[in-house]
């Protein structure tokens, strides 16, 4: 039997078939429809391997002493409800915090935020978008009125120039990179801005090897050249934007010669990139966490919006500002209101009229003050936050300054975690609830280009595990608020009843139609390209952004810049991919990339053991000496608990989006010989 579904990994949303034999998923086959065009990357081909892994959680667990004991579902849920209710009654609704999940379905994320708001009465709901694309939402909403990818994956091949900044697309989104390469073969020119040589660099006409944290300076330098040489789109600027004159005056200060020492990119290369982009008929921008995970993350995103508007590259195929979402449903989790300031459909919690409409559907009164973000909740553990419910998130590996996260979670009166495996975070819980995998439930995911797609149950849940929508509904009923849904289809119907961007979406339609939001009513065909004719906010807004250095720069004690990221063969905190033999056979340990010049200075050879130390902690791992990384910069992937990069990273965060600066911190590197550092 072949069951059509969607890949569980990155936000590309490739469709695939799960092949089922004797009640088990035995392999995966690519689906001819959808963004993958009948192709899968190695993670997609291996997407079934963790489903029946012996490490899967199969029964609820309750902490007893230093370990856990097995419990019935009734016992575990009674404990959860007792402790959540106790925290609410003693300390108030805002003493509880909830983390929804970019790996869960839209329907499950919707219920999780509804549990927080309608049942408990708090807006303390967030998820890992706070760690990856919170600055995207904040920045693009302020510039365009919508915080999502403007274009669809299909029209990548219509671009004349593709500008990739802060995205290792080849490894993070391989099937999107494939489209870019196809475009290059048709004549498109690719510009890559990255401190490392990535796979796309081989197909690029220009590699801007800039210093981490200097994105605003680089983008301002490019826009300075565009204005200096008069290749901006005056007609677009005049008819579709505002606040241009003030922006133009301030960009005049960012000459390529001024920007060169900040970025490390030669002025001539900045000019060449500006001309390529500015003179293109259709130019598109793609970015990911390389520009969002900074204390200036919002500024970086706003700068990409400025560049697109300056050249008129918005609202048509082959153009746009296109954030690439790293997880399978991080877009959907945001859409569903898994954010402390937004209800489903990006309705502000402070919007009395639109909030009132949701209150009528839900039959309750909702809290009106913005809730705490993920990192704020962690920082408030044991003080303002007394209990947490974490669904499918692993802050013990994904959040910066892991030692601090461990200390804070340990202060909670109560922690419940819903998970597939005993993650580093689940190990700290008081109750662990075994969740069903994507192969064991129905629902929807929303891909990076706003494409809403069905996932379908292929096999029964392993052991006693349950889908998160069932778990949340049961907890809600036990807390006195009825959530009586027969299926995820019913939940989507309720989501649609709220109106807005999912107003015309249903499981019935998704069986036969390819829908991208906004899809406001049942006759609407969905929206492939945003901001055609006018921006969501009316006029696009130019915003002057000045360069600011990272929160932590190298010095004599910590002379190197650490940046982090993904590898092709692994994903997020490795909970699933490191239980895939195909993937672990490729790579199963962390290494630190270092430039040969830096390696010679340190006396480090390829494969040598090194200790990397920041102001927050230290880890040990092997060195990989490569000229594919900029001098003065080291790179460590964040998938590996035994050499957790986030022990080192800086929790300083963007003041607007509250996203941490995971992409830049200062470190020291020491060679380890005979078990001792040199």
* DSSP alpha helix (H) spans, 54-117: 73-91, 106-114
Given this model, what pLDDT does residue 676 score? Answer: 64
Q: Which of 266, 292, 323 is the last residue of a domain?
A: 323
Answer yes or no: is 33 within a domain. Answer: no
Sort 494 into a burial class: Cβ within 10 Å, 0-12 / 13-18 / 19+: middle
Q: Assess whether 265 and 160 both reside in one domain.
A: yes
Answer whether residue 491 is part of any domain.
Answer: yes
Looking at the structure, do residues 260 and 162 belong to the same domain, yes or no? yes
List, in sequence order, every residue forming a beta bridge with 3; answer none if it has no partner.
18
Q: Is the dihedral of CA 62, 64, 66, 68 positive or negative?
A: negative
- 369: burial class by Cβ within 10 Å (0-12, 13-18, 19+)? exposed
The whole-angstrom separation of Cα 171 and Cα 567 is 6
Q: Give domain status of residue 669, yes or no.
A: yes
**Cβ atoms within 10 A of the Cβ of 147, count?**
24
Cα–Cα distance list, 346 to 138, 187, 336, 372 (Å): 11, 38, 8, 16
Rounded CA separation 593/603 (Å) = 15
121 shares its domain with 156: no
| Pairwise CA distance, residues 575 & 225, whole Å | 46
Q: Which among 2, 7, 32 is positioned nearest to 17, based on CA atoms?
A: 2
Burial of 364 (0-12, 13-18, 19+ CB in 10 A): middle
Q: Residue 112 falls within a domain, yes or no?
A: yes
Q: Same domain, yes or no, for 277 and 163?
A: yes
pLDDT at 134: 86
Over residues 281-303, the pLDDT tens digits come to 999 999 998 999 899 999 999 99
**Cβ proximity of 483 and 477 under 8 Å:** yes
Closest CA to 647 of 579, 590, 600: 590
Specify if 531 maps to a domain.
no
- Could you give the angle at which helices 297-310 and 215-228 cross, rounded to 10 degrees? 20
User: Are residue 154 and residue 279 in the same domain, yes or no?
Assistant: yes
Backbone angles phi, psi at 587, to 5 degrees: -145, 135
Residue 556, class by beta-carbon neighbours within 10 Å (0-12 exposed, 13-18 middle, 19+ buried)? exposed
Domain CATH number, residue 655: 2.40.40.20
| Encoded tokens for 252 | 């005049």
Same domain, residue pair 396 and 313: no
| 182, 225: one domain | yes
CA gap 443, 506 in Å, rounded: 11
Rounded to the nearest angstrom, the gap between the alpha carbon of residue 353 and the centroid of all alpha carbons in its chain is 30
- Looking at the structure, tell me whether residues 353 and 490 fall in a common domain: yes
Identify the segments of the chain with pLDDT beneath 50.
none
Number of domains the chain contains: 3
Give all strands of the β-sheet with 161-165 in edge-to-edge order. 206-208, 189-193, 161-165, 283-287, 321-323
Q: Report if residue 283 sits inside a domain.
A: yes
Q: Which two tokens stand for residue 650?
A: 């800086």
d(CA 160, CA 121): 50
Strands 665-673 and 515-516: unpaired
Cα separation of 581 and 50, whole Å? 9
Same domain, 379 and 497: yes
CATH of the domain at 364: 3.40.50.740
- Residue ending a domain, among 293, 323, 353, is 323
Looking at residue 547, what is its pLDDT? 96
Cβ partners under 8 Å of residue 293, min gap 6: 131, 132, 135, 659, 660, 661, 662, 663
What pLDDT digit, counting tens, does each position of 518-527 carry?
A: 999 999 999 9
| Three-state DSSP class for residue 210 | coil
Q: Read off the CATH number of the domain in which 215 is found.
A: 3.40.228.10
In a domain, 5, yes or no: no
pTM of the predicted structure, to 2 decimals: 0.95
487 and 586 housed in the same domain: no
Pair 277, 161 in one domain: yes
- Domain with 510 in it: 74-131+328-439+464-516
Three-class SS state of 449: coil
Sequence-distant (6+) residues with CB within 8 A of 588 are: 578
Residues 355 and 493 in one domain: yes
Is residue 174 in a domain?
A: yes
Sign of CA dihedral 97, 103, 109, 111: negative
User: DSSP for 636-659?
Assistant: EES--GGG-GGGTSEEEE-TTT--
- Residue after which a domain boundary falls, among 281, 299, 323: 323
């Amino acid at each position: 039997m072949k069951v059509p579904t969607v890949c569980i990994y990155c936000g590309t949303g490739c469709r695939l078939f799960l092949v089922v034999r004797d009640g088990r998923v035995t392999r995966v086959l690519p689906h001819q429809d959808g963004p993958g065009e009948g192709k899968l990357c190695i993670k997609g081909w291996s997407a079934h391997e963790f489903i029946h892994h012996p490490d899967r959680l199969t029964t609820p667990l309750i902490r007893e002493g230093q370990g856990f004991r097995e419990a019935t579902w009734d016992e575990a849920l009674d404990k959860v409800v007792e402790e959540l209710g106790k925290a609410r009654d003693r300390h108030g609704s805002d003493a509880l915090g909830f983390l929804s999940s970019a790996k869960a379905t839209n329907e499950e994320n919707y219920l999780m935020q509804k549990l927080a708001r309608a049942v408990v009465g708090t807006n303390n709901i967030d998820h890992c978008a706070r760690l990856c694309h919170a600055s995207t939402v904040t920045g693009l909403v302020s510039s365009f009125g919508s915080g999502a990818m403007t274009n669809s994956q299909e029209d990548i091949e219509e671009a004349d120039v593709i500008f990739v900044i802060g995205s290792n697309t080849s490894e993070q989104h391989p099937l999107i990179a494939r489209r870019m390469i196809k475009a290059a073969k048709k004549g498109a020119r690719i510009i890559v801005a990255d401190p490392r040589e990535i796979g796309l660099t081989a197909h690029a006409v220009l590699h801007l090897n800039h210093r981490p944290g200097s994105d605003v300076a680089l983008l301002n330098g490019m826009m300075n050249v565009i204005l200096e040489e008069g290749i901006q789109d005056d007609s677009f600027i005049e008819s579709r934007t505002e606040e241009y004159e003030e922006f133009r005056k301030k960009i005049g200060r960012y000459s390529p010669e001024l920007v060169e020492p900040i970025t490390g990119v030669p002025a001539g290369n900045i000019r060449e990139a500006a001309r390529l982009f500015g003179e293109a008929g259709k130019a598109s921008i793609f970015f990911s966490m390389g520009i969002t995970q900074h204390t200036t993350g919002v500024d970086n995103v706003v700068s990409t919006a400025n560049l697109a508007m300056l050249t008129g590259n918005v609202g048509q195929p082959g153009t746009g500002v296109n954030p690439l979402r790293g997880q399978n449903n991080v877009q959907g989790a945001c859409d569903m209101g898994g954010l402390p300031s937004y209800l489903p459909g990006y309705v502000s919690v402070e919007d009395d009229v639109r909030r009132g409409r949701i209150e009528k559907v839900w039959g309750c009164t909702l809290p009106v003050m913005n809730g705490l973000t993920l990192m704020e909740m962690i920082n408030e553990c044991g003080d303002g936050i007394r209990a947490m419910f974490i669904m499918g998130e692993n802050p013990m590996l994904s959040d910066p300054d892991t030692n601090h996260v461990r200390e804070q979670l340990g202060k909670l009166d109560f922690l419940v975690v819903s998970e597939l495996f005993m993650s580093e975070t689940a190990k700290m819980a008081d109750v662990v609830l075994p969740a069903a995998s994507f192969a064991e439930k129905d629902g929807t995911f929303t891909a990076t280009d706003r494409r809403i797609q069905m996932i379908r149950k292929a096999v029964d849940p392993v052991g006693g595990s349950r889908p998160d929508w069932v778990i949340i509904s049961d907890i809600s009923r036990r807390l006195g608020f009825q959530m009586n849904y027969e299926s995820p289809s019913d939940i989507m119907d309720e989501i649609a009843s709220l109106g807005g961007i999912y107003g015309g979406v249903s499981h019935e339609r998704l069986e036969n139609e390819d829908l991208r939001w906004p899809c406001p009513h049942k006759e609407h065909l969905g929206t492939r390209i945003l901001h055609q004719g006018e921006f969501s906010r009316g006029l696009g807004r130019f915003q002057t952004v000045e360069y600011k250095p990272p929160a932590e720069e190298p010095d004599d004690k910590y002379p190197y810049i650490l940046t982090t990221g993904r590898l092709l063969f692994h994903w997020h905190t490795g909970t699933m991919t490191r239980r895939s033999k195909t993937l672990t056979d490729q790579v199963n340990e962390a290494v630190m990339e270092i430039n040969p010049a830096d390696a010679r200075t340190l006396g480090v050879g390829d494969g040598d053991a090194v200790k990397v130390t920041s102001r927050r902690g230290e880890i040990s791992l092997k060195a990989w000496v490569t000229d594919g990384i900029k001098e003065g910069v080291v790179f460590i992937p964040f998938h590996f608990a035994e050499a957790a990069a986030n022990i080192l990273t800086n929790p300083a965060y963007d003041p607007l989006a509250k996203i941490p600066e995971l992409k830049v911190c200062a470190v020291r590197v020491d060679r380890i010989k005979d078990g001792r550092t040199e």
